[in-house]
Amino acid sequence: MIVLTLSLCFSAALLAAVPLVNCPPVYDPWYDVNDDGKIDLKDYFGVGKRYGSEGQNISKASIEYDSGWINITGMQGQSITIEHNLGITNWDDPKLMVDTTGKTRLDDTRLQRYMGLTQVGWSRAYGGARDYYAYALVRTADGMYALAGGTGSSGAQDFWLVKTNAGGSMEWNRTYGGTNDDYATALVQTIDGGYALAGHTTSYGAGGADFWLVRTGSAGNAQWNKTYGGTSDDVASSLVQTADGGYALAGSTISFGAGSSDFWLAKTDSNGNMQWNKTYGGAGYDFARSLVQTIDGGYALAGCTDTYGAGTQDFWLVKTDDSGNVQWNKTYGGASTDYATALVQTIDGGYALAGYTASYGAGKYSFWLVKTNAGGSMEWNRTYGGTNDDYATALVQTIDGGYALAGSTNSYGAGEYDFWLVKTDDNGNAQWDKTYGGISREWAHALVQTVDGGYALAGYTGTYGYPHWYNFWLVKTDAGGNFPNANTGLAWIYRSANTLTLYRGLADADWNYVRVRISKAK
């Protein structure tokens, strides 16, 4: 008899929070791998020898139970409880042998025999009994990760830089800041293996808030820092290291420009000394959120404007030459609020902008992806979302020519807001989407595609990490967006006198059919 349950009990290899009871003994299953009628050294690392039956006919072991082939297609992420009713009192009996075999198709001659789960994703939280907000993420030259944001560990917020290994374990962390609030919102790894962080500071500089650029060595030790700004508020949102080894910072300024707030682009040399700066905007509020250096050596900035365009706020894309002089600008949007948060130059020389829209889509706010040609003319646009609020904050063009957008959703997932990752083809058609999070609020701000074709997302979590505080959260997925506990394979997770329970990995594609035979050596 087969009992199918939706158990949340995982094997210890999953690092699950739920403790296991009556875990199965650790030994290899018994089977005649090559079906030659004998268990010998040709079979799975000499299992037969271990059980004293090498070279002997299988009839020396009596089959006490045979489940036959069980169809578990579509049961990824579920447990399968098999009732054998043998009344087994000692699962450690050396004469007891369990053969668990799988197939992908029932007519398949290839058998799945390697038990166990392979984890395809992970997540890590960093922080403590203060609020820690991650806003930036890079994949480092050594295949690891670095995150930047703000930490309140000393009371006021400071820049915080966290370096991890490939599995997300922290290698080191550094803070930078003064007695007031300082927020890092952008990060690059520099060509010499160090780091540069940008954001705004209220501890240093000339105004209420100034652009702040901090340069470090490869171990995060500060080498120099510079502020840029006027007597009012100037907030940096994006940073690139330029082709000449210098830096370009983009954000918004109230100190300079024509309106209430303008785009501001500041270019420095390799030591952070300002070479030139430019403002872009009109009489209203214009906020730059993302910056790229373009293939022609110029720059493209994206954000939102209420000075220009059709609605309350529109996406705004500004293209400049290598000295910051405007070559062209375009707005995209409808009658309501449309806010661009991320920008990439695409492999065809055009641009893709992501953000959120209240003018289009199904909910109050939806993810919005806009694709343009090299001159900024819109080629297509797509919305993604449900009936509530969904905010895209990060964008990459993927190795297959499509796109991946990350942000936060209130339409889907488990909690108040969850990380949301949407993968599209090269025309913006959604291929799949995944949510990550718990019962509290999780907000994604940064996204990279990893060397294995998967994704890493960074932001902050209220569910994981230190209780009752927000902490940095880094999530690593496989190429299909599968997350921790989204494993492949099949494993034992429980056994009793009359049952044996298996768990099929959430991302498993191989174990569509399973057969369990329980035997005793004579």
Average pLDDT over residues 104-111: 82
Predicted confidence band of residue 397 (pLDDT cuts 50, 70, 90): very high
- Candidate from 212-226, 424-438, 459-473 with smallest mean pLDDT: 459-473
**Mean of pLDDT over the chain:** 87
Q: Domain boundaries in the chain? A: 2-119+486-521, 133-477
Other Cβ atoms closer than 10 A to 429:
10
Mean pLDDT of 161-170: 94
Q: Per residue in 295-337, pLDDT tens?
A: 999 999 999 999 999 989 999 999 999 999 999 999 999 999 9
Cα–Cα distance measured from residue 145 to residue 123, given in angstroms and rounded to the nearest whole number: 12
Contact 363, 390 (CB under 8 A): yes
pLDDT at 342 over 90: yes
For 348, phi then psi, to 5°, come to -90, 5
Which H or E run includes 50?
helix 47-50
What pTM was estimated for this model as a whole? 0.78
66-90: burial string, b at 16+ Cβ within 10 Å, e else = ebeebebeebbbbbbbbebeeebee
Using an 8 Å Cβ cutoff, are 515 and 70 in contact?
A: yes
Residue 5, pLDDT > 50, answer: no
Q: Helix (H, G, I), strand (E, B), or coil: what is residue 125?
A: strand
3-state SS track over 320-372: ECCCCCEEEEEEECCCCEEEEEEEEECCCCCEEEEEEECCCCCCCEEEEEEEE
- Contact of 189 with 239, CB cutoff 8 Å: no
The predicted pLDDT at position 509 comes to: 84
Q: Residue 10 — very low, low, confident or very high, per pLDDT cuts 50/70/90?
A: very low
Q: What angle do CA 228, 284, 275 make, to 5 degrees?
A: 25
Tell me the average pLDDT across 58-83. Answer: 83
Q: How far apart are CA 13 and CA 30, in angstroms?
A: 22
Q: Determine the longest span between alpha carbons in the chain, in angstroms.
A: 91
CATH topology of domain 133-477: Methylamine Dehydrogenase; Chain H (2.130.10)
Q: Which long-range contacts (CB under 8 A, 24 or more apart) does 189-192 make?
A: 189/138, 189/140, 189/141, 189/146, 190/215, 190/241, 191/241, 191/245, 192/218
